[in-house]
A and B are shown apart, each in its own frame.
Chain A
């Protein structure tokens, strides 16, 4: 059974960089698309972007200038970096998998709360 687990700091200061890692277990990171999705009380669910195992990426235009998603196939992990954070970036961050470019998520992480505050 594939499992995804987010990890990273739960508290980030304004203007700093949010960094999260998603570790994939029970299956290979190869041949799938790996996504980050966040959920805030104000904006609800928001798709952040994806990375294909080969390294190609696609980001939400609303966040594109601040987002980088990377993959480490040797560790079966992929990561999210979001720069210049503000309180509006406070959210539960989920990592997730899709089988193909046009598919729905078939596996979700449990989510991790990241709070932006000084």
Chain B
């Protein structure tokens, strides 16, 4: 299996801050990496696919980058609505695997 490792596990930032979350794959996955946002009691919501493509309807303050084994999700200006847990997922091979999540809090 491809192990996905996210950091940090928790992040506290102020409204307006630039926030970066990192995801590392245990083997190369090319650009087959997605980022999800999950709020309590809800299914994950797709933000970014193919490492850097913004899903339709997702605010442009979200962006993704990386390829191979190192990836980042950036929120350019943190908003109160962005409080959630964020997950990366590789879809290069089965079984699909997810990072353990990064909980974003407002400072």
A44–B89 alpha-carbon span in the complex (Å): 12
- In the complex formed, the residue of B with least CB distance to A94 is B43
Residue of B91, B95, B101 touching A44 (CB-CB under 8 A) = B101
Q: Residues of A contacting B87 with CB < 8 Å?
A: 44-45
Tally of chain B residues near chain A (CB < 8 A) = 19
A58–B1 alpha-carbon span in the complex (Å): 14
How many residue-residue contacts, CB under 8 A, span A and B? 39
Instruction: Indicate whether A32 reaches chain B with its CB closer than 8 angstroms.
Output: no
With both chains docked as a complex, state the minimum distance between the C-beta of B80 and any C-beta of chain A, in angstroms.
24
Residue of B1, B34, B43, B95 touching A104 (CB-CB under 8 A) = B34
A45–B87 alpha-carbon span in the complex (Å): 9
Q: Residues of A contacting B42 with CB < 8 Å?
A: 110
Instruction: Indicate whether B18 reaches chain A with its CB closer than 8 angstroms.
Output: no
Interface residues in B6-62 (C-beta closer than 8 Å to A):
32, 34, 42-44, 46, 49
Q: Residues of B contacting A58 with CB < 8 Å?
A: 94
Interface residues in B53-107 (C-beta closer than 8 Å to A):
87, 89, 91, 94-101
Q: Residues of B contacting A62 with CB < 8 Å?
A: 1, 95
- In the complex formed, the residue of B with least CB distance to A43 is B100
Where the two chains meet, the residues of A that have a C-beta atom closer than 8 Å to any C-beta of B are 44-47, 58, 60-62, 94, 96, 102-105, 108-111
